Every structure is written in C-alpha cells, then in structure tokens.
Amino acid sequence: MVLADWHVGEVLWTFIWFTFIFIWIWLAISVFIDIFRSHDLSGVAKAIWILFIIIVPLIAILIYLIVRGDKMRVHAVEAQKEQEAAAQEYIRQAAGTASSPADELHRLADLKDRGVIDQAEFDSLKAKVISD
C-alpha cells in the first residue's frame, strides 16, 4: 500500500485506533501499578488478578476498574502524599534547614557566634522559631 492510497478517513481511523491502543496500554500499566501497591490484596489475589489480566486483558482491566476503581484513587492519593512528604524532607535536608525547633535554635546560635547575624537578627529569628 502506497502512502498516496490513504484517504482522509483511513488516516483518521488509524489515529483513532492508535489513541485507543495508547489509552489501553496506559490503563493496563495503571492497573498493574495499583495491583502491586495494594496492601489490602493478598499475594494470591494479586496473582489471580495478574493472570486474569494476561488471559483476558480488555475484560479484566474493565472489571478491575469497576470493582476496585475507588481504591485505585485512594492508593494514588496516598502515593502522592508519600512522594510529597519525601520531597519536602529531601528539600529540608538539601537546604540545611532543621527539622525541629531545637535544631533551628542551635543553627541560629552558631550563625550568631560566627558573626553571620547580629544579636537583633538572632532575637527576631529566635522569636519566629519559637512562635512556629
């Protein structure tokens, strides 16, 4: 088949099929991720779902979305919160900020002793740390 033989309808139909295939692959990956991240499923239940998806992919994914779609959302939200907390902790560690008020006061005292900040700045920052 030569490219010139393709008509507008055939090109459109091909784009639609590629879109559906892409969506199906995305859903399959999402379902597999959710199966492996589900703490409420036993290992046997996970194996059954995976075999079911391998044997009858389209029907199994649709059934999984119907049966466990709400739990997929909950798992996604939990994973997002965990990632956000890990990112915030990494930012705190990379920036050198203290994780507790005592550590922050110790850091401020060290800055004052080295002459980086004066007594007035130390007092205002100390009041801010204590009020938080």
Domain boundaries, the chain: 3-97, 98-132
Q: What's the confidence (pLDDT) of residue 96? A: 64
CA gyration radius for the chain? 27
Give the count of alpha carbons within 13 A of 7, CB side only: 1
| pLDDT for position 98 | 52
- Angle, alpha carbons 73-77-80 (nearest 5°): 140
pLDDT band at 114 (very low <50, low <70, confident <90, very high): confident
Check whether 107 has a pLDDT greater than 90. Answer: no
Considering only residues 8 and 82, tell me which one the structure prediction assigns the higher pLDDT.
Answer: 82
The average pLDDT across 3-15 equals: 80
